Amino acid sequence: MTEDQQRPTGPDDDNVVWHPHAVARADREARNGHKGVVLWFTGLSGSGKSTVAGALEQALHALGVSTYLLDGDNVRHGLCRDLGFSDDDRRENIRRVGEVAKLMVDAGLVVLTAFISPHRAEPANGA
């Protein structure tokens, strides 16, 4: 269990703990015959992100790779339907998608994401 998994999820969530599962990511990847990974396609609206990601998903699927495509427009019809387009809402949209993608990678899938990511994240090393 990682430190992130042990940490409470919020100030009132002391009873929320991470429950490890008997089937691990490595087991799922072995069953699928490939590792789980996220491929993140970003760009301006209309730049072809969804088209390229969709074509790649079709090609990978034809090769027997377990895939899932998370598309920005589609996600806003469900998971992120409560969000607008303010800076905070755009960040929350991407955060939610990242969490879903992380779960799918844990399931052993190759996850393709096609999103406008207007805010460049700070580099991990602070550079």
- What is residue 120's predicted lDDT score, i.e. its pLDDT? 58
Bridge partners, 69 (sequence order): 112
pLDDT digits (tens, 9 = 90+) for 85-127: 888 988 898 899 999 999 999 999 999 999 887 655 533 444 3
Structure tokens at 49: 């992100």
Residue 15, pLDDT above cutoff 70: yes
- What is residue 9's predicted lDDT score, i.e. its pLDDT? 54
In the set 45, 50, 66, 117, the catalytic residue is: 117
Q: Where do the domains of the chain lie, and which CATH numbers do they carry? A: 34-115 (3.40.50.300)
Calculate the alpha carbon distances from 39 to 23, 76, 86, 99, 114 in Å: 24, 19, 25, 14, 9
DSSP 8-state assignment for residue 22: S
- Mean pLDDT across the chain, nearest whole number? 83
Q: Is 117 marked active-site?
A: yes
